[in-house]
Amino acid sequence: VNPSSSENGGRSGGFMPSPITETPQKVDVNPPKGTRDFPPEDMRLRSWLFQNFREVSQLFGFEEVDFPVLESEALFIRKAGEEIRDQLYCFEDRGNRRVALRPELTPSLARLVLQKGKSVSLPLKWFAIGQCWRYERMTRGRRREHYQWNMDIIGVPEVTAEAELISAIVTFFKKLGITEADVGFRVSSRKVLQEVLRCYNVPEELFGRVCIVIDKLEKIPLDEIKKELKSVGMSDEAIEELLEVLSIKSLAKLEERLGTSGQVVGELKQLFALAEKFGYSEWIQFDASIVRGLAYYTGIVFEGFDRQGKLRAICGGGRYDRLLSTFGGDDIPACGFGFGDAVIVELLKEKNLLPELGLEVDNIVCSLDPELQGAAALVASTLRGKGQSVDLVLESKPMKWVFKRAARINSRRLILIGKSEWERSTVAVKILSTGEQYEVKVDELD
């Protein structure tokens, strides 16, 4: 066959792509707007952070779960006007299905619980670490993805569940060297809001929408808040009363306001009593204005904040007793939290608590002669079989290059395979920190 004949597209010896694919297309080497790459040094920090998430979750007896990043859009469509809905990264797939990149993990977790149904026994204590997405206008220059650590307790109606979750987060902070002087938790209950709305005959179905407006208290002007509450259908009197109750920052004052009989004050008192027993009383404070920005919360809500007030909320969560039933399941009580991977790193930087995470390799193995590449491979495998990490030099390189690489990868030892040593079944070893060097039998290398 004439390799350049037209029969095979003018190709000569193998596939000759058409000219159009030959022209190199200069690609943008940066990741899409609002997203991050994780080159090695960033990946080491991320892995360290996730390792701490996992260790705390397992310390509390939680099991790890995961779900697809891509979910049915319906999982996240709620009518309460949440920001998370406005920023949903959603599209129609080639099968004409409405899908979305998950903006959070809780709905997926609820879906999996319902899918498992009676095959799982309650309570469930599940944790997940997953990338979540939002489509934000880049004018605000914020990210469009982050990784979230979630811990959820499914099937426990008691406030002991919320107390346990906050204890897990406190344990995580302490593990990283963060103290109650650095961060705190603002705690409240949406039942406070519910109590006020009930007194003013605000319909139950407006509850979620009112919460979403109140969650913007610190973010938009008060007049705007009042306007939005009026548009939801609240009277001026109800709005004034609500804003006044939301300004309460002590349980005692709340008790004065709502009376001691209600479940609201009782649950909050129980949570603070448990905090005392867990040993994190100094970390938490009551703040009636905390409602969190997700419509499905129904009870206790909390958020972690930096006491210097420089950063956005570090984490947040609460009770969501109705979510599973809104997905068509039974009324299963649930609570959980989400903890993003970005604000915590900003906090660690602020507190000078970022760990030193250099690459560390036990050995760099190098043959001094091309014929000894096989010998080098054998030595590398022997060491790896003993659990030692090895950076094997894969080409013939000058020693200057080898020493430079050994320093860059922070190798503890340099193992040289030389002709005369190999004839004696030995290798040369150099301890790079001290310069000490010696010869050793290959099978005594450890």
Is residue 191 a contact residue for ligand 4HU (CB under 6 A)? no
CB of 43 to ligand 4HU, least distance (A): 18
H or E stretch covering 278: helix 263-278
Residue 144 or residue 322: which is nearer to ligand 4HU going by CB? 144
How many Å is the maximal CA-CA distance in the chain? 96
As to burial, measured by CB atoms within 10 angstroms (0-12 exposed, 13-18 middle, 19+ buried), residue 54 is middle
Using the rule CB under 6 A, give the single segment among 111-119, 141-149, 179-187, 366-374 that binds ligand 4HU.
141-149
Residues 338 to 357: which contact ligand 4HU by CB under 6 A?
340
Using DSSP bridges, classify how beta strands 411-417 and 390-392 pair: parallel, antiparallel or unpaired.
unpaired
Q: Which of 133, 147, 173, 339 binds ligand 4HU (CB under 6 A)?
A: 133
CB atoms within 10 A of CB 257: 16
Q: Which of 134, 186, 190, 322 binds ligand 4HU (CB under 6 A)?
A: 134
Q: What are the DSSP calls for 97-143, one per residue?
A: -EEEE-S-SHHHHHHHHHHHGGGSPSPEEEEEEEEEE----GGG---
Question: Distance between alpha carbon 339 and the CA centroid of its chain, in Å?
Answer: 6
CB atoms within 10 A of CB 146: 19
Using the rule CB under 6 A, give the single segment among 62-70, 132-140, 200-208, 380-388 that binds ligand 4HU.
132-140
Contacts for 128 with CB less than 8 Å, ≥ 6 apart = 64, 65, 66, 67, 105, 109, 149, 150
CB of 443 to ligand 4HU, least distance (A): 53
Using the rule CB under 6 A, give the single segment among 90-98, 107-115, 143-151, 178-186 that binds ligand 4HU.
143-151
Using the rule CB under 6 A, give the single segment among 110-118, 138-146, 303-311, 408-416 that binds ligand 4HU.
138-146
Q: Per-residue contact track with ligand 4HU, 306 to 345, x per CB under 6 A? A: ----------------------------------x-----
Distance CA 208, CA 293 (A): 9
The two structure tokens encoding residue 10: 């003018």
CB of 134 to ligand 4HU, least distance (A): 4
Is residue 145 a contact residue for ligand 4HU (CB under 6 A)? yes
Q: Which of 132, 242, 291, 344 binds ligand 4HU (CB under 6 A)?
A: 132
Distance CA 64, CA 339 (A): 15
Is residue 146 a contact residue for ligand 4HU (CB under 6 A)? yes
Is residue 103 a contact residue for ligand 4HU (CB under 6 A)? yes
Is residue 253 a contact residue for ligand 4HU (CB under 6 A)? no
Is residue 292 a contact residue for ligand 4HU (CB under 6 A)? no
CB of 389 to ligand 4HU, least distance (A): 34
Is residue 162 a contact residue for ligand 4HU (CB under 6 A)? no
Edge to edge, what strands does the sheet with 89-92 contain?
A: 70-72, 98-101, 89-92
CB of 288 to ligand 4HU, least distance (A): 23
Using DSSP bridges, classify how beta strands 183-189 and 300-306 pair: parallel, antiparallel or unpaired.
antiparallel
Whether 292 contacts 301, CB under 8 Å? yes
Interface with ligand 4HU by CB under 6 A: which residues? 103, 132-134, 143-146, 340
